[in-house]
Amino acid sequence: MKIGVFDSGVGGLTVLSAMAKAFPSVEFLYVGDTARLPYGNKSTTTVRKYSEEIMDFLIGKKVDAIVIACNTASSQVRESQWKGIPTYNVIGPGAATAVKLTKTKRVGVLGTRTTIATESYSKAIKSIDSSIDVFSQSCPLLVPLAEEGWVNDPIADLVIQRYVKPLLDQNIDTLILGCTHYPLLKDAIQRLCGYEIRLVDSGLAIAQEIGTLVNGAAKAPAKSNQPLIHFFATDLSPHTQNIAEKILDPMKVVEFTEIKL
């Protein structure tokens, strides 16, 4: 089985990593739209257009399913199929996990400007339980910090503190990392929020969601314990390659290829 996964950059590798660990017999084709990153400050029309181009590319590579490992793109592509191929977005599973975890019914969401402006998480949460209060915060500076690899750094700590304080002031007990870059900053976010706050990582949530699809497919025998991961990027710099290798370590990428969409 082949699963296509995409994001604006390397952040979606946090989702791919969770899926590849859970399903090592699956072949993964990852697209990072690094030439056009970030998506989080772009208009909804542009994000939708870029997402469609990437999904068409993945369909051309004959994938069996597509996982939109980007919350910003997920907020614009809500269909469960694209040209007949099952399509999964990260918002539904993240929202459902938060609803299960919250005890006080006060949930925070960190996301890009576009994700927060679409209110995708608060709508998804309220459609499950309308009595939950949702507090959202856009965090445009976190993606560049994650792409730069400054994940354990006093500058990252200062920026995170500034973003999470208004949510902590609302007495949330659960916080959704509503951008696939943020799990790279998870340790710092947890430390700054305090260990009693439950963090929701969409990568883990989607890995559970696609379990049914993968387990229902005819099993090709795993060629090794090492999942096959192909990495395509619209701009392939040594920096992107280096960060991708670090995020996926100890898993290896079988090919790095630059593509035009």
Query: How far, in Å, CA of 242 to CA of 236, rounded?
Result: 10
Active-site option among 20, 73, 77, 179: 179
Q: Which residues form the interface with ligand DGL (CB under 6 A)? A: 7-9, 11, 37-40, 70-72, 112, 115, 143, 179-181
> Residue 75 CB, nearest distance to ligand DGL (Å)?
8
Active-site option among 10, 13, 58, 70: 70
Alpha-carbon distances of 71 from 25, 94, 100, 220, 251, rounded to whole Å: 26, 10, 20, 30, 24
Torsions phi, psi of 162, nearest 5? -65, -40
| CB closer to ligand DGL, 91 vs 167 | 91
| CB closer to ligand DGL, 74 vs 174 | 74
> Residue 76 CB, nearest distance to ligand DGL (Å)?
10
Please compute, for residue 27, the number of CA atoms within 13 A of its CA located in the half-sphere on the CB side: 14
Q: DSSP assignment, residue 184? A: G
| CB closer to ligand DGL, 70 vs 188 | 70
> Residue 112 CB, nearest distance to ligand DGL (Å)?
4
Length of the chain: 261
Query: How far, in Å, CA of 143 to CA of 37, rounded?
Result: 9
> Residue 130 CB, nearest distance to ligand DGL (Å)?
25
Residue nearest to ligand DGL (CB): 40
Strands lying side by side in the sheet with 133-138: 133-138, 106-111, 174-178, 198-201
**Bridge partners for 137 per DSSP:** 110
Query: How far, in Å, CA of 142 to CA of 127, rounded?
Result: 28
| CB closer to ligand DGL, 3 vs 143 | 143
> Residue 109 CB, nearest distance to ligand DGL (Å)?
12
Query: How far, in Å, CA of 87 to CA of 72, rounded?
Result: 15
Query: How far, in Å, CA of 67 to CA of 94, rounded?
Result: 14
| CB closer to ligand DGL, 32 vs 228 | 32
Task: For residue 7, give the 3-state DSSP assignment.
Answer: strand
> Within 10 A of 139 (CB to CB), how many other CB atoms are there?
26
Quick check: is 179 catalytic? yes
Q: Which residues are catalytic?
A: 70, 179
